[in-house]
């Protein structure tokens, strides 16, 4: 090497050393990538790194090492030049209020180009950060066992002085002193002596809330979680009466409701219930709204947010509760009600329907619609709506069961068959379960963003047009179907075209993914008519990515990472809940958010109005049963595709499927005893693969074949046993 080359090498080494301290904060790294519309996989490919490594760089778990560090720093520097961070005192213009699941959304003005920053509080609230001394248990909760709050904190995010104390606080009262437990162990003294004063304190001094997830979105309102002792302190009942539970709110004459009215605060039409929104009229473009989560009134349903068989939230220390909900807010979004409601709001937060646009003639800012979002309530299609929808009024008899030719029946699998004599020779039934199967099915799915277009006269099928197609697939004979050069005995597989796994009997309505799969299998399709959407997009992609990252990061906190081998993964999954019980609750909440949000796209009437009368959910732009049907169809045909490849690779056939739980006869009790692997010890491509990522599978449980035969004899029939075989009996059905 020449002297000149040695000098250049020394200079390069110095530049490499400088690059070590030249990286922005982890949250800024992620912001820059998302602003450029790049995926973690794209950056990983460019840097010759693993996608998981890029994710760890963006969460601060690890830091890139030379030589990748210098290249990564150069990439971030270039992105920062193109996508500078907004000034803290001049955030992007908030869009008008997105549709709420509440029947009366909080009013908001037309957005301004640069809203004024929230006024600085006259004085900082007294705070005790990371206090090691905790108040004793309240006398109002004699059975409560408060454990010391753990000091793990919410993942770091870009500092926003408006919300420096986090997205939410748990309000608790001990010995007459009201405290607000925030994320990171911060405890604030609360001077408010009434609910209206508490709301005003939150709006002016608490500095709670969460910055928007999209530049055209809006900041999340602060959330106050009221414990039992806080209810007693503020004159609220410890529990709702039966009449109040049916109404879902306190009566208008309750003293606290009167206090709210007297103070000039407003409630949404939902009133003061388990999740209550209190607000004042906006100041300019600044919202003034606070959401109350009343814990003793079952605001956090144990089936979604807790362990349903052994609830922990009622006795959880306020600091631990703040940590749990703060982590959910940081990784998913601020809770807005049920996990289903929150998941639907997350869709809107990531794909806001409107933005502020400058009028070229007047120079004033006005409301404009975004092309990649759901922006209006469109006409419905009769075959896509549930039975109680007003569009079906007078169309059918009251108890008429619509046929597949009258109703789009895209649902997950609910299928079971008898075991063959050969299968009965296996001692075990092993159940594997798809991780977050509905969210995984939404990934990359093209959905309609506008209203339906009716196609008649035997239109040709176009897989690029999402919608509903009336097609006769009864001719699609799956028997002895060749897959990868091998013949598969499809008599032992369910049909991909019906939820019950039965062969279609005639013309029926199908979503685009189902018809596209029939074409993929080599069958001729001849649609009779169709309702399609001509403006399309991958609307659910950012929603999926947000939930995927939240789920994978949470599982990693419990020791279940993406780089584990099969046996290591099974062992880590078995001990994960003991590693960190709070993270186990977070895992449950994230999965419920993904599943519930998809169901919310076709929310049914809750009996609040007479049959066939309009109900509140129909006023939402996100009431889109066609999108729900597309996701469920994609989930079912994607599962069938893996079933086919598994059967072709290992002559392995399921005996039952419940939503996303697949039951296989097995010579041993572990999934490793049944799932196919190559001679090199890797999963066969296209088959089920053990792992933590959405779309991969985990072990749900194991039972004996004798146990199954005994259940069939008790019932006198073959019924679906998929969701009865669980190692963890607290797990819900499906994901």
Burial 641-650 (b: 16+ CB within 10 A, else e): bbbbbbbbbe
Comparing CA positions, the residue from 433, 345, 445, 511 lying closest to residue 694 is: 433
What are the distances in angstroms from CA 50 to CA 54, 186, 420, 541?
7, 36, 44, 21
**Contact present, 449 and 721 (Cβ < 8 Å):** no
679: exposed, middle or buried (Cβ count in 10 Å: 0-12, 13-18, 19+)? exposed
What interhelical angle do 68-82 and 26-35 show, nearest 10? Answer: 60
The residue whose two tokens read 């807790």 is 306
Instruction: Kindly write down the DSSP assignment for every residue of 623-665, as one continuous string.
Output: --HHHHHHHHHHHHHHHHHHHHHHHHHH----SEEEETEEEEE
Q: Which pair of tokens denotes residue 222?
A: 């602060």
**Contact present, 249 and 237 (Cβ < 8 Å):** no
69-82: average pLDDT: 84
Comparing CA positions, the residue from 188, 192, 290 lying closest to residue 234 is: 192
657-668: average pLDDT: 96
Rounded CA-CA distance 385/398 in Å is 15
Comparing CA positions, the residue from 195, 196, 191 lying closest to residue 178 is: 191
608-626: average pLDDT: 94
Q: Which of 132-136, 286-290, 655-659 has the least mean pLDDT?
A: 132-136
Region at 143 (left for phi over 0; alpha for psi -120 to 50; beta for the rest):
alpha
The model's pLDDT over 114-143, given as tens digits with 9 standing for 90+, comes to: 333 333 333 333 344 333 333 333 333 333
Q: Name which residue leads in pLDDT, 453 or 158.
A: 453
Which one-letter DSSP state was computed for residue 248? T
Angle at 73 between CA 70 and CA 74, to 5 degrees: 90
* H/E stretch holding 523: none
558-581: average pLDDT: 92
The model's pLDDT over 190-206, given as tens digits with 9 standing for 90+, comes to: 999 999 999 999 999 99
12 — pLDDT class (breaks 50, 70, 90): low
Domains and CATH numbers, the chain: 12-82 (1.10.260), 127-338 (no CATH)
**pTM (predicted TM-score):** 0.79
The model's pLDDT over 575-595, given as tens digits with 9 standing for 90+, comes to: 998 888 999 999 999 999 999
Chain mean position to CA 71: 33
What's the mean per-residue pLDDT of the chain? Answer: 86
| Sign of the dihedral through C-alpha 710, 711, 717, 720 | negative
The model's pLDDT over 321-357, given as tens digits with 9 standing for 90+, comes to: 999 999 999 999 999 999 999 999 999 999 999 998 8
What interhelical angle do 541-557 and 51-59 show, nearest 10? Answer: 80
The model's pLDDT over 371-380, given as tens digits with 9 standing for 90+, comes to: 999 999 999 9
Residue 310, pLDDT above cutoff 90: no
Angle at 434 between CA 431 and CA 437, to 5 degrees: 145
Alpha helix ranges (H) inside 21-63: 26-35, 40-47, 51-59
Rounded CA-CA distance 701/724 in Å is 9
**Contact present, 704 and 429 (Cβ < 8 Å):** yes
Q: Which pair of tokens denotes residue 260?
A: 């709210």
Rounded CA-CA distance 77/177 in Å is 49
Comparing CA positions, the residue from 690, 694, 499, 662 lying closest to residue 591 is: 694
**Contact present, 146 and 137 (Cβ < 8 Å):** yes
Rounded CA-CA distance 374/465 in Å is 16
Phi and psi at residue 427, to the nearest 5° = -80, -20
For residue 67, whether the previous peptide bond is cis, meaning omega lies within 30 degrees of 0, is yes
Comparing CA positions, the residue from 68, 67, 76 lying closest to residue 23 is: 76
Rounded CA-CA distance 719/709 in Å is 11
For position 116, what pLDDT does the model report? 38
Q: Which pair of tokens denotes residue 385?
A: 């709506």
Largest CA distance in the chain: 93
| Sign of the dihedral through C-alpha 384, 389, 394, 398 | positive
Q: Name which residue leads in pLDDT, 564 or 62.
A: 564
What are the distances in angstroms from CA 187 to CA 128, 129, 322, 457?
5, 6, 10, 67
Pairing of strands 286-294, 223-226: parallel
Residue 186, pLDDT above cutoff 70: yes
Rounded CA-CA distance 734/179 in Å is 39
511 — pLDDT class (breaks 50, 70, 90): very high
400-404: average pLDDT: 95
* H/E stretch holding 691: none
Sheet bearing 467-472, strands edge to edge: 453-455, 529-532, 467-472, 507-511
Output 382-387 pairs: Cβ under 8 A, ≥24 positions apart. Answer: 383/407, 383/408, 383/468, 383/470, 383/509, 383/531, 384/408, 384/468, 384/531, 384/625, 384/626, 384/629, 385/625, 386/602, 386/604, 386/605, 386/625
Q: Name which residue leads in pLDDT, 554 or 489.
A: 554
What are the distances in angstroms from CA 695 to CA 432, 516, 608?
12, 20, 37
- Highest mean pLDDT: which range of 12-26, 305-319, 502-516: 502-516
For position 92, what pLDDT does the model report? 41
525: exposed, middle or buried (Cβ count in 10 Å: 0-12, 13-18, 19+)? middle
For position 416, what pLDDT does the model report? 96
Which one-letter DSSP state was computed for residue 683? B
Chain mean position to CA 161: 28
Residue 151, pLDDT above cutoff 80: no
Rounded CA-CA distance 137/147 in Å is 10
Comparing CA positions, the residue from 238, 221, 360 lying closest to residue 280 is: 221
E strand spans, 515-629: 529-532, 536-537
Q: Which pair of tokens denotes residue 542?
A: 């950012």
Q: Which pair of tokens denotes residue 551?
A: 């789920």
Residue 718, pLDDT above cutoff 80: yes
Rounded CA-CA distance 287/156 in Å is 25
Comparing CA positions, the residue from 105, 64, 59, 88 lying closest to residue 161 is: 88
> In this structure, what is the dihedral angle of CA atoms 714, 720, 726, 729, given to the nearest 10 degrees?
-80
Q: Name which residue leads in pLDDT, 39 or 452.
A: 452
């Amino acid at each position: 090497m020449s002297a000149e080359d040695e000098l250049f090498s020394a200079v390069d080494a110095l530049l490499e050393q400088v690059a070590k301290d030249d990286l922005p904060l982890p949250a800024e790294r992620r912001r820059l990538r998302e602003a450029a519309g790049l995926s973690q996989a794209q950056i990983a490919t460019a840097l010759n790194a693993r996608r998981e490594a890029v994710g760890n760089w963006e969460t601060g778990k690890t830091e890139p090492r030379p030589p990748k560090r210098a290249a990564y720093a150069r990439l971030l520097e270039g992105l920062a030049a193109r996508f500078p961070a907004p000034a803290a005192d001049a955030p992007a213009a908030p869009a008008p209020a997105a549709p709420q699941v509440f029947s009366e959304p909080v009013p908001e003005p037309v957005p301004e180009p640069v809203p004024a920053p929230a006024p600085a509080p006259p004085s900082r609230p007294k705070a005790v950060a990371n206090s090691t001394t905790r108040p004793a248990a309240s006398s109002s909760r004699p059975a409560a066992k408060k454990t010391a709050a753990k000091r793990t904190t919410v993942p770091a995010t870009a500092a926003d002085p408006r919300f420096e104390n986090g997205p939410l606080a748990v309000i608790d009262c001990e010995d007459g002193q009201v405290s607000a437990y925030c994320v990171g162990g911060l405890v604030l003294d609360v001077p408010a002596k009434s609910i209206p004063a508490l709301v005003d304190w939150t709006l002016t001094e608490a500095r709670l809330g969460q910055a928007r997830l999209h530049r055209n979105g809006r900041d999340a309102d602060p959330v106050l979680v009221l414990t039992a002792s806080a209810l007693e302190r503020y004159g609220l009942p410890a529990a709702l009466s039966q009449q109040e539970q049916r109404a879902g709110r306190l009566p208008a004459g309750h003293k606290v409701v009167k206090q709210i009215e007297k103070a000039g605060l407003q409630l949404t039409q939902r009133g003061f219930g388990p999740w209550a929104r209190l607000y004042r009229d906006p100041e300019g473009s600044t919202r003034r709204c606070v959401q109350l989560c009343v814990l003793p009134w079952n605001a956090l349903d144990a089936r979604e947010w807790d362990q349903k068989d052994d609830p922990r939230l009622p006795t959880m220390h306020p600091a631990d509760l703040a940590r749990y909900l703060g982590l959910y807010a940081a990784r998913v979004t601020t809770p807005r009600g049920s996990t289903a409601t929150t998941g639907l709001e997350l869709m809107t937060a990531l794909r806001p329907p409107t933005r502020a646009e400058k009028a070229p003639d007047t120079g004033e800012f006005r409301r404009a619609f975004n092309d990649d979002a759901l922006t209006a309530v469109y006409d419905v299609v009769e075959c896509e709506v549930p039975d109680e929808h007003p569009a079906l009024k007078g169309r059918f008899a009251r108890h008429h069961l619509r046929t597949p030719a009258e109703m789009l029946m895209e649902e997950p699998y609910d299928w079971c068959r008898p075991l063959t004599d050969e299968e009965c020779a296996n001692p075990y039934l092993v159940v594997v379960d798809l991780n977050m199967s509905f969210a995984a099915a939404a990934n990359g799915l093209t959905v309609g963003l506008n209203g339906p277009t009716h196609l008649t006269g035997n239109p040709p099928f176009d897989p690029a047009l999402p919608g509903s197609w009336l097609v006769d697939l009864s001719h699609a004979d799956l028997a002895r179907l060749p897959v990868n050069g091998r013949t598969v005995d499809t008599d032992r597989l369910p049909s991909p075209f019906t939820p019950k796994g039965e062969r279609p009997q005639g013309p029926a309505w199908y979503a685009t993914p189902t018809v596209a799969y029939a074409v993929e299998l080599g069958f001729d399709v001849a649609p009779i008519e169709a309702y399609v959407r001509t403006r399309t997009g991958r609307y659910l992609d950012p929603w999926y990515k947000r939930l995927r990252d939240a789920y994978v990061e949470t599982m990693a906190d419990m020791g279940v990472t993406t780089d584990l081998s099969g046996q290591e993964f099974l062992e880590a999954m078995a001990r994960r809940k003991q590693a960190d019980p709070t993270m186990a609750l977070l895992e449950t909440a994230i999965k419920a958010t993904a599943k519930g949000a998809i169901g919310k796209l076709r929310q049914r009437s809750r009996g609040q109005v007479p049959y066939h009368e309009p109900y509140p959910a129909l006023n939402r732009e996100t009431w889109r049963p066609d999108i729900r049907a597309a996701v469920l169809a994609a989930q079912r045909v994607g599962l069938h595709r893996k079933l086919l490849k598994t059967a072709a690779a290992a002559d392995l056939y399921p005996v039952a499927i419940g939503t996303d739980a697949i039951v296989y006869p097995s010579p041993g009790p572990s999934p490793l005893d049944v799932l196919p692997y190559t001679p090199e010890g890797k999963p066969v491509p296209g088959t089920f693969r053990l792992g933590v990522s959405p779309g991969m599978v985990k072990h749900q449980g194991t039972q004996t074949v004798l146990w199954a035969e005994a259940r069939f004899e008790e019932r006198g029939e073959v019924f679906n046993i998929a969701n009865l075989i669980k190692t963890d009996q607290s797990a819900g059905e499906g994901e």
